[in-house]
């Protein structure tokens, strides 16, 4: 029975990742992605924050918080994977620059595909990974569905508009199903995490990443909130792809699920930012129902 559930969990990861990327492409245009990225200085700061400073923070966290090898792998995976599909929704809740949020999300996602296969073996020297396999899995499961969605949106806008909600719903259902499966398969491991250094490690990573993004986000609050949220909200989809394809230890996936759960609290942070800006009227509970887009 356990073998069947594990196989089902792996399949659910694939369904979630592919449908979430496809839904994103069906909802965007190439112009929406590229236009906000003309501020090269801000783009450079975003890349610095996500691909240099956040992995550095993870490394420092591992120096002070004792974790097992599998737990360390999970933390590093999330620290190196950027460009969460849920970022535009978080930005909307925070009353930030949504256009910049969309462009930043796709930019970070594309860079992640090239970055993770190169950096992961460096950050985890005792772990054997296949960089080519990591890159190919991210391209096939993330960039190809995104490109297909963008093509359909550009050529068949009405079709894209009609099927996007269904694809997005499938993605959300798959995510919920995945979380349930992970709880069933790894309930003992999850319970063992309580009181360990795992929660402390993730809180440190998320808080420090948010602070880095806020400090580098420019003079405007609208862009500060985008980069802060975009840096703190890691790309769980990409991390799951790499984790499921390259590591046999289930504790790696459990670690990713724990991290994703804690990052869900960024909805509350985004809501507070929106209220303070005087522009946010989004209902946080409604936003929580939309979290299944990540």
| Residues sharing a CB contact under 8 Å with residue 85, sequence separation 6 or more, in sequence order | 20, 21, 24, 105, 109, 235, 237, 293, 294
Give mean pLDDT, residues 199-216: 94
Long-range Cβ contacts of 59-66 (<8 Å, 24+ apart): 59/123, 61/201, 61/204, 61/205, 61/208, 62/201, 65/197, 65/200, 65/201, 65/204, 66/197
Residues 6+ positions from 288 with CB-CB distance below 8 Å: 264, 267
User: How far does Cα 12 stand from its chain's mean position?
Assistant: 17
pLDDT score of 287? 43
Tally the domains of the chain. 1
The pLDDT, as a whole number, for residue 259 is: 84
Full residue range of the structural domain in which residue 93 is found: 2-293
Q: Flag whether the pTM goes above 0.85.
A: no
Give mean pLDDT, residues 230-235. 92
pLDDT over threshold 60, residue 158: yes
Share of the chain above pLDDT 70, in %: 89
Tell me the average pLDDT across 228-246.
85
The answer on pLDDT for 193 being more than 60 is: yes
Q: What is the pLDDT of residue 280?
A: 41
Q: What was the pLDDT predicted at 45?
A: 94
Residue bearing the bigger pLDDT, 184 or 25: 25
Listed ranges 92-96, 226-230, 245-249, 256-260; the one with the highest mean pLDDT:
226-230
Please report, for the domain that includes residue 231, its CATH number.
Answer: 1.20.1530.20
> Which token pair is 172?
């959300």
């Amino acid at each position: 029975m356990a073998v069947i559930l594990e196989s089902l969990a792996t399949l659910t990861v694939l369904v979630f990742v592919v449908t979430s990327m496809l839904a994103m492409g069906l909802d965007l245009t190439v112009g929406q992605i590229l236009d906000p990225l003309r501020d090269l200085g801000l783009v450079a700061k975003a890349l610095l924050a996500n691909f240099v400073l956040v992995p550095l923070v993870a490394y420092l966290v591992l120096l002070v918080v004792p974790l097992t090898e599998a737990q360390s792998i999970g933390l590093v995976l999330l620290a190196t994977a950027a460009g969460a599909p849920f970022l535009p929704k978080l930005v909307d809740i925070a009353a930030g620059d949504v256009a910049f949020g969309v462009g930043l999300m796709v930019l970070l996602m594309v860079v992640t595909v090239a970055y993770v296969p190169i950096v992961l073996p460096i950050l985890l020297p005792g772990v054997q990974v296949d960089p080519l396999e990591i890159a190919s899995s991210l391209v096939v499961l993330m960039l190809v569905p995104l490109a297909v969605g963008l093509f359909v949106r550009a050529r068949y806008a009405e079709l894209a508009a009609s099927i996007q909600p269904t694809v997005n719903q499938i993605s959300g259902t798959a995510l919920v199903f995945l979380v349930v499966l992970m709880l069933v398969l790894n309930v003992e491991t999850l319970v063992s995490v309580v009181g360990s250094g795992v929660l402390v490690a993730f809180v440190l990573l998320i808080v420090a990443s948010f602070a880095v993004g806020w400090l580098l986000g420019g003079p405007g609050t609208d862009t500060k909130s985008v980069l802060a949220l975009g840096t703190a909200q890691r790309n769980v989809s990409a991390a799951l792809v790499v984790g499921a394809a390259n590591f046999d230890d289930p504790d790696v996936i459990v670690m990713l699920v724990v991290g994703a759960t804690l990052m869900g609290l960024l909805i509350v942070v985004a809501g507070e930012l929106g209220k303070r800006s005087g522009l946010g009227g989004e209902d946080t509970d409604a936003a929580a129902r939309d979290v299944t887009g990540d």
